[in-house]
Structure 1
Amino acid sequence: MLVLFDCDGVLVDSEIIASRVDSERLATIGYDISVQEMSHRFAGLTWDRISKLIEADLGHSLPENFHAETNAELDKRLAKDLKIIPGVQEMLDKLDYPRCICSNSSPERLKLSLTKTKLYDRFRPYIFSAVAVRNNQPKPSPDVFLHGAEEFGVDPRDCVVVEDSTHGIHGARAAGMRVIGFTGGSHTWPGHADALTAAGAVTVINRMADLPAMIDALAAWNPVDE
């Protein structure tokens, strides 16, 4: 059994910070959206996809330097304020399966976030950015998950993905993998668990302490071929 973790909102509590930065920056150009709605609508998507959706709402393009300035502000906030999801270190201590990270974040952002939260050395070199592998297709493309499975030589049917977004779940399911939904991040919203279940999660947890036993149960249900 291989365990593939999303990063933002699963291992590090970054989605709420990103939603705050985006909400604040968008307000400066007349696009008013709450932090909660940012999380609900856009968690798990790349900025390229988010910007296209916002531009469709606005009816015009975002300012030329908007993304670069927003990205710089987010890096600054992450470096200052980012925290690990509670219980992740303890969960990793108990997890007896190979593991990797499959994220939509850039390699640079992943290194920043994982170094800040002291998780980088617990996963490297198996830290995969969807925009840097295969055809650089972000989730909901299954590519990053399939890449992770190939790196370990594991059949997708013997993989379990931990995801907090419907987009990530759709990608994992398209890869032929089972998914555990996670709602323990600060960006969670009413109905989050139901949305993850509807997207295809086999179960949803909100505490990292519950993950090792859940993965053991899934491994027993469909054990890895020897």
Structure 2
Amino acid sequence: MPLSLVLFDCDGVLVDSEIVASRTDAALLKELGYEIDPEEISVRFSGLTQERIMELLTAEHGLRFPDDYRERQRRELDDRLRAEVEAIPGVHEMLDKLELPRAICSNSSTDRLRIVLERTKLWDRFRPYVFAAGEVGTKRTKPAPDVYLFGCEQFETAPRETLVLEDSVHGVAAAAAAGCRVVGFVGGSHTYPGHADALTEAGAETVIRRLVDVPGVVDAFAGWENV
């Protein structure tokens, strides 16, 4: 079935921000007395909102977060992203060759998306089609499928005609639940051993590590049936 739309996750797919977030979270959690490596944060929590991460750590380890923790985490991460985040290699070349309509569907806020996309010169390549899950439609974040269904609705495109590129298990699960065709991406600095297998198990039909391969995958999917 030919594809009509491509929806991208942002963090870890278009911009190499997941590793920055993991390092920031690891440092802040250490101050609370909880030791965790950035790599473990990437494996366990990539694709989740900060609020959900805090909920899980509270339930699993009894962590007590100060009232100002979420705001402090937001400020510190935003500052680091403004100074450090880079585009995933090949993203502009890929977009130059991609002919289908495209949009971003992310768990990040619009404010944060603007920070990373403007720094990497990607904001103008997507706006106004930059959708923050917590701010559009039902406002349910991934792993709920809602933001991907919302993206499809904006272009009046059926999910089965939509390709999603995702780097996290939670994001792949969201896109698959929406009924989209899903490609896993393991080209970010936060990738880990077993990453590709985890994305496949979550519902990705194939996995790539180079963004420049996306246009070729779009062409190939026209002849593939989901298995």
Offset, 1:221: 3.6
**Partner Cα distance (2:222, 2:124) in 1:** 26
Match of 1:206 in 2: 209
- Work out which of the residue numbers 129, 132, 138 in structure 2 matches 1:129: 132
**Partner Cα distance (1:27, 1:221) in 2:** 46
Q: How does 1:57-206 map to 2 (within 5 A)?
A: 57-206=60-209
* RMSD over equivalenced CA pairs, Å: 0.9
Moved more, 100-109 or 53-62: 53-62
TM-score w.r.t. length of structure 1: 0.96
Going from structure 1 to structure 2, the CA distance change for 1:47 and 1:81 (only over 3 Å counts) comes to: same
Give 2:164's aligned amino acid.
Answer: V
The CA deviation string for residues 19-39 of structure 1, in whole angstroms up to 9 with x for no partner, is 000000000010100010010
Runs (4 or more) in structure 1 with deviation over 2 Å come to 219-222
SS, match of residue 215 in structure 2: helix
**Partner Cα distance (1:183, 1:31) in 2:** 28
**Partner Cα distance (1:89, 1:187) in 2:** 20
TM-score w.r.t. length of structure 2: 0.96
Q: Which runs of 5+ in 2 are unaligned?
A: none
Offset, 1:60: 4.2
Q: How does 1:40-59 map to 2 (within 5 A)?
A: 40-59=43-62
Offset, 1:53: 0.8
Check if 1:22 corresponds to 2:28.
no
Q: How does 1:1-12 map to 2 (within 5 A)?
A: 1-12=4-15
**Partner Cα distance (2:187, 2:82) in 1:** 21
Offset, 1:77: 0.2
Aligned length: 222
SS, match of residue 181 in structure 1: strand
SS, match of residue 8 in structure 1: coil
- % identical equivalent positions: 56
SS, match of residue 121 in structure 2: coil
SS, match of residue 217 in structure 2: helix
The CA deviation string for residues 167-206 of structure 1, in whole angstroms up to 9 with x for no partner, is 0111111111110000000000000000000001000000
Offset, 1:134: 1.3
Moved more, 131-140 or 11-20: 131-140
